[in-house]
């Protein structure tokens, strides 16, 4: 659709994954929902989450960004964690979604659908309006 903005593209900043301040501000609440969605599918550890986000096009997030979010989510009882042995070094903390986390993910999905639909409606409408404004002829 013309005028519809790809959310992934809008949030990336650029193809190199540069995030300016406004992109970072937009991502603050969105990242929580993305992490919950990834954790819902299977238990994961921090580096794995960063790697998964990278595979979806979010290039500017390291474990240093993700761990404070996970710690907050754990305090809010949205996720739980378990330490497990690793074949590649020290034990790893694996995160899984709690029932409360599942409910929060459902709420996030509803809010995201609402916001995405309405923002795209505005951008599409305003793009179409601007492109047809110059088409008027004066006689």
What is the C-alpha to C-alpha distance for residues 42 and 107, in angstroms, rounded to an integer? 20
pLDDT score recorded for residue 3: 37
Is the pLDDT assigned to residue 137 strictly greater than 60? no
Average pLDDT of the segment spanning 98-120 = 96
- Torsion over CA: 50, 51, 55, 57 (sign): positive
* Third-level CATH fold of 7-129: Arc Repressor Mutant, subunit A (1.10.10)
Q: What are the backbone dihedrals phi and psi of residue 17, each rounded to the nearest 5 degrees, phi first?
A: 85, 15
Given this model, what pLDDT does residue 29 score? Answer: 82
> Domain spans of the chain?
7-129
Q: For residue 69, which of 33, 94, 41, 121 has the smallest C-alpha distance?
A: 33
What's the pTM value of the predicted model, to 2 decimals? 0.74
pLDDT number for residue 9: 45
In angstroms, what CA-CA distances link 46 with 10, 49, 69, 89, 126?
25, 5, 10, 14, 40
pLDDT > 70? residue 48? yes
The per-residue pLDDT for 87 is: 86
Return d(Cα 70, Cα 78) in angstroms, integer: 9
pLDDT score of 11 more than 80: no
Cα 64 to the chain's mean position, in Å? 16
Residue 44, H or E segment: strand 44-45
Is 138's pLDDT higher than 70? no
pLDDT band at 14; cut points 50, 70, 90: very low
């Amino acid at each position: 659709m013309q005028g519809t903005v790809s959310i992934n593209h809008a949030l990336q900043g650029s193809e190199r994954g540069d995030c300016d301040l406004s992109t970072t501000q937009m991502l603050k609440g969105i990242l929580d929902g993305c992490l919950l969605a990834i954790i819902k599918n299977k238990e994961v550890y921090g580096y794995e989450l960063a790697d998964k986000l990278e595979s979806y096009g979010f290039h500017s997030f390291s474990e240093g960004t993700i761990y404070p979010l996970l710690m907050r989510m754990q305090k809010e009882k949205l996720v739980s964690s378990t330490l497990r042995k690793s074949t590649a070094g020290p034990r790893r903390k694996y995160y899984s979604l709690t029932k409360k986390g599942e409910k929060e993910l459902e709420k996030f999905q509803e809010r995201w659908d609402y916001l995405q639909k309405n923002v795209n409606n505005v951008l599409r409408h305003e793009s179409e309006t601007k492109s047809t404004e110059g088409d008027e002829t004066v006689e």
